Amino acid sequence: MTAQGIYKITENFEKEVAKYTGAPFCVALDNGSNALFLALKYINIEGLEIEIPSHTYPSVPCEIIHAGGAPKFVKSSKYLKGAYQLKPTPVWDSALRFTHNMYIPGAYMCLSFTGPYKHLKLSKGGGILTDNKKAYQWFKKARFSGRREKSYHEDDLDTLGWNFYMMPEIAARGLLFMKQFYTVEANPRPLPQKDKEVPYPDLSKFEIYTGGK
C-alpha cells in the first residue's frame, strides 16, 4: 500500500464520523485530550479564564493550562453527562456524547474514543468536529507534526505542529465499528445514541489546577 493509501484510511474514517454526526468536517486524532488542546490553541486562550464543571475528567483543566489559559471551576454534580461548553469559547467537551446529527454549528466539538465509557471504543482515539474550513486545514497539519499527508521529503513545511495523528490501523477499526450506529438493512439508517453519564472527582479541590486559589 502506498503512503497516500494509508492516509486515505484515516480520511475515510473522518468522513464517516462527519457524516454520522452532521459536521461538515472531522479531524481524527490520537485522543480526546489532544483534541481539546488543539481546539484551544487554535482560538488562542492565552491568559483567559475558561469555565468548566468542577467534576470532569482531569485532562480537561490540564489542556486548558497547557494551552495558556486558566480553568475556572463551576460547581457541578458528581455525575457528568453528555457534552458541555468550555465557556466562553466555542470549544465543547463531547467525550460522553456521540450521536446522529449532534454537531452544533460554529462549535469545535472534541470527541473521545478512548476508554470503556465511550460510544465508539477504539482503545485510543479522538477527533474535532467543525464547520470552519480554515480551522479544519490547520488542525490537519497541526496534529501531524506540521506536515501535510505526503512524504516529508516532498512537503513544503510551514507549520509548527504536534504528534497527534490517529494511526491508520485504529482508523481502520473505527470504520468497521461505525457500522454499529446504523440499522442492518439494504439502506441503513443512522441510530441515535444516548449520552453517557460518568462520575468524576471534584477537581476544584486540587491545587495543581487552581494555583492555590
pLDDT in tens, 6-19: 789 999 999 999 99
CATH classification of the domain holding 26: 3.40.640.10
Give me Rg for the CA atoms of the chain.
17
Domains contained in the chain, number: 1
Provide CB contacts within 8 A for 31, sequence distance 6+: 112, 114, 124, 125, 126, 164
Which residues of the chain form beta strands (DSSP E)?
Answer: 25-29, 49-53, 70-74, 79-81, 84-85, 91-93, 108-112, 126-130, 197-199
Whole-model pTM: value is: 0.94
pLDDT in tens, 129-163: 999 999 999 999 999 999 988 888 888 888 899 99
Query: Distance of alpha carbon 192 from its chain centroid, rounded?
Result: 19
Task: Note down the domain range covering 49.
Answer: 3-210
